[in-house]
A and B are shown apart, each in its own frame.
Chain A
Amino acid sequence: MNSALPSPADYTLTAPLKLLIVDDSLVIRRSIERHIEKWNFASIQTAGNGAIAMEIFRKEPADIVTMDITMPEMDGLSCVEAMLRIKPNVQILVISALADKSTAVEAVKRGAMGFLLKPFDAAKIHEALQEMIEDVV
């Protein structure tokens, strides 16, 4: 873990950032929400597939997005591209179980700023999201 970053318990956002969590698993969406619920995001929205995520993002573009890849309706990598067309400076963290290197490379090629492999623990999701936030503020 990056020692330069504050510990999760002490972490508070210095800017009113909006977060969108996209994953087809309700358990994972709620788990990520719980991990950052004390960080004072201006808003946290969730979506269970890419199509719903795009609907939400068009109405209210988030500053930070966590994005699953394998989802019904619209996959995460297509979502990454579509979101970047709407808001080029959005920070997207791809969170996926797909462990082949080509998936991570493809995600970054499409514009994702980070890649977190499932399963993840609290420390890993905190670290990955804190790095996204540091790049926004």
Chain B
Amino acid sequence: MKEQDLTSFIHGTRNYFSCVMGSSPEIGTPYLFDCNPIHGDFTASIHVRGQRKGAVFFTAKREMIQRILEAFGENKYDDQLLADMVGEIANTIAGNARESLGDRAVATALRVAADLSSPFPH
């Protein structure tokens, strides 16, 4: 993927949080992260297919997803609902990215990071 492709996802993420939470997130500088799964984190992946392949991962801590669920009016936070929320966020960001990427952006695998004993499917 090229930097231009990533812009669609950054824009989609900003738009999502602005609409749902009422404030736009700060976008920081990317850095390499120790990939050991962190207990309690939830991750959903968006796969990009076509000539330029790649993947974008949306990962959030349990507390952050709980805050988002609160914004949707939820007051119970079981793992199923947290995973549903993360999947919906990834689906929405992927769907919004189709405005510029066409049907190359597909939100697919959803895994709870605590269960990440095997890598994401490619």
Scoring B residues 80 to 122 as 1 if CB is less than 8 Å from chain A, else 0, what string do you get?
Answer: 1100110110011111111100110000000000000000000
CB of B72 within 8 Å of the partner chain: yes
Given contacts A26-B81, A27-B81, A121-B20, 20 further A-B contacts (CB under 8 A): A25-B84, A26-B80, A27-B74, A27-B88, A28-B72, A28-B88, A30-B72, A30-B74, A31-B73, A96-B95, A97-B91, A97-B93, A98-B95, A99-B96, A118-B92, A118-B95, A118-B96, A119-B20, A120-B19, A121-B19
Residue of B nearest to A119 (CB): B19
Interface range for A: 10 to 19
Task: Evaluate contact between B74 and A97: CB separation under 8 angstroms.
Answer: no
Distance A39 CA – B88 CA, assembled complex (angstroms) = 26
Question: B16 contacts the other chain (Cβ, under 8 Å)?
Answer: yes
Residue in A28, A99, A120 whose CB lies within 8 Å of B95: A99
B99 pairs with A99, CB closer than 8 A: yes
The 3 A-B residue pairs whose C-beta atoms are closest, nearest first, are: A97-B95, A99-B99, A97-B92
Give A contacts to B, CB under 8 Å: 25-28, 30-31, 34, 70, 96-100, 103, 117-121
How many Å lie between the Cα of A25 and that of B95 in the bound state? 14
Contacts of B20 in A (CB 8 A): 119, 121
If over half of B's interface residues share one DSSP class (helix, strand or loop), that class is named, otherwise mixed; here it is: helix
- B107 to A: closest C-beta gap in Å: 8
Residue of chain A at shortest CB distance from B103:
A100
Instruction: Given A25-B84, A99-B98, answer yes or no on A31-B72 (Cβ-Cβ < 8 Å).
Output: yes
Residues of B within 8 A of A34 (CB): 73
Whose C-beta in chain A lies nearest to the C-beta of B91? A97
Q: Which residues of A contact B88 (CB under 8 A)?
A: 25, 27-28
